Amino acid sequence: MHAHAGEPAAAERAAAITSQEQLDPSSFYDTANPMLRMLQQAADALADLPRDKTGRVDWMRALRSGIISPRSDLQGNKPMEVLDLDVILKNTKEMPYVKFPHNSHTEWLACSNCHDKLFVAKAGANPISMDKIFRGQYCGTCHDRVAFITHFSCERCHSVPHGKIKAWW
């Protein structure tokens, strides 16, 4: 789907719902298989989940409200190793600082998803920029792909006002 300048919100919303909930099954299933219609449709599976302001599933709210409870591994016997540590990233120019919450991430991601391949485990040690995030590096490895969309949600990362830099949303 293509968003034209001047009509972004509605078109982007429709695109989001298309990509998340209306995947074309014929692109990855054998449509000749009669059992195919027994599979649950993505739109049905996601129907009861809370939404963010762009109409996409708000996975953090889904997790916190207990609607979903992801397993730590295939067997699901072990608890997640949750780390309650916020790191404040201050190289944000005219934007509020970024608060990176380990807690929200380690409730469903093991440390090894990020350390040390994506991020050296040392505050301030990673040369992150928006440019790199938009190109799929650092936070952009997941955000814009499986986690919430960066360019609609500045405030979810840039959540710490400082000095004259206030929240403008």
- Given a contact cutoff of 8 angstroms between Cβ atoms, the answer to whether 102 and 87 are in contact is yes
Cα 90 to Cα 70: distance, rounded to the nearest angstrom: 32
By beta-carbon proximity to ligand HEC, the closer residue of 41 and 72 is 72
H or E element, residue 131: helix 130-134
Question: What x/- string results for residues 45 through 84 when contact with ligand HEC is judged by CB under 6 A?
Answer: --------------xx--------------------x-x-
- Residue count (the chain): 169
Residues 90-149 that bind ligand HEC (CB under 6 A): 90-93, 95, 98, 100-102, 104-106, 109, 111, 113-115, 118-119, 121-126, 128-131, 133, 138-139, 141-143, 146-148
Amino acid, res. 110: A
Cα 59 to Cα 5: distance, rounded to the nearest angstrom: 29
By beta-carbon proximity to ligand HEC, the closer residue of 16 and 158 is 158
Cα 29 to Cα 35: distance, rounded to the nearest angstrom: 11
Reading the block at residue 6, the tokens are 């001047």
Strand partners of residue 101: 86
Question: What x/- string results for residues 5 through 44 when contact with ligand HEC is judged by CB under 6 A?
Answer: ----------------------------------------
What values do phi and psi take at 57, rounded to 5? -60, 135
By beta-carbon proximity to ligand HEC, the closer residue of 25 and 52 is 52
Residues lying near ligand HEC in the complex (CB under 6 A) are found at 59-60, 81, 83, 87, 89-93, 95, 98, 100-102, 104-106, 109, 111, 113-115, 118-119, 121-126, 128-131, 133, 138-139, 141-143, 146-148, 150-151, 153-154, 156-158
